[in-house]
Structure 1
Amino acid sequence: MLTISVVGEQDLAELAPMLRGYCDFYEVDPSDDKLAAMSRALIENPDEGVQLIARTDGGTAGIAVGFATIFWTWQTLYAARVGVLNDLYVTPQSRGSGTGRALIAHGLQLCRDRGAEKLVWETAPDNATAQRLYDGIGAEKSTWLTYELDAR
């Protein structure tokens, strides 16, 4: 049994190692201070986005086993609000337990609650484990490529 809730200040100590694990997986190294600042910014302004934390049975006393970050925006091509599932991470020992599916389902419900028409996300082309999850829940692959420029 899992409990999923929106991250609050009291969750940051448990969230931090999962944020680091997520960054390590993608071989990036933002500082712990910057990661905490991002989480606090979302706690302070949930209209920008939310982070979810999944725990094993026991509610806030349970063991943290995953997180997701959803940012709120608009998509012109749909002429609608969307939730962007920017991060999805499940601890290695909990993978395959349904935690990822539960976090996505919770995020989809948050989209419905906010009037967002879609939950969208991307993953690395070589992340086969994540792609099996996404294919298994009936998500549709996009034909879009992602580009980026540094703004610094």
Structure 2
Amino acid sequence: MIESVSPQNLIEVLPLIRAYQNFYKVANVSDENNAEFFAQFGEGSPAGCQFIFRVDNKAVAFGTVYFSFTSTITAKVAVLNDLYTDPEYRGRGIAKQLIEHCREYAKQAGAARLQWVTAPDNTQAQKLYDKLAASKSTWHFYAYNT
């Protein structure tokens, strides 16, 4: 079951966010900072929405969609910035269901596309992404800290 994350269930997704950040070796993970940051995403938020996937009422995965714009296609785009499934629940099609849910959400919100990036060594996730009808970019991703 997929549902939007809200103030009522945000606490349930925090351990998954922490695990996701640990997977990507984020320094100084803070549940307090995560709670404050992710509280901005919800059903009616122009910033985007976070979704939780439940199995037997247990939160086992999440995806977060942020909205942005791109001048190359002069359109609003949805960025699937976070996607994580508890390792115990991988291989059950949960991530694919979340991606498809996020794609539909993006479409309903007027985004021209749903896009995402992943680490080059995240080969498990890439196996799923390569099976989707999504195009794989050859662009390089850069980050410049401010």
> If the length of structure 1 is used for normalisation, what is the TM-score?
0.91
Matched, 1:56 2:36: no
- Secondary structure of the residue aligned to 1:37 is helix
Q: 1:52 to 1:34 in 2, by over 3 A?
A: same
Percent identity between the aligned chains? 41
In the other structure, the counterpart of 2:112 is 117
Deviation at 1:92?
0.6
In the other structure, the counterpart of 2:14 is 16
Deviation at 1:150?
1.2
Counterpart Cα distance in 2 of 1:11 and 1:136: 31
Matches within 5 A, 1:19-98: 19-29=17-27, 30-43=29-42, 46-57=45-56, 62-98=57-93
Q: After superposition, give the CA deviation of every residue in 1:56-111 in whole Å (9 maximum; x if it has no partner).
A: 25xxxx11110001001111111111100000000011101111000000000011
Deviation at 1:7?
0.3
- Please state which structure has a larger fraction of its residues in helix: 1
After superposition, the CA RMSD in angstroms is 1.4
Counterpart Cα distance in 2 of 1:43 and 1:137: 26
Structure 2 stretches lacking a partner, 5+ long: none
> If the length of structure 2 is used for normalisation, what is the TM-score?
0.94
In the other structure, the counterpart of 2:130 is 135
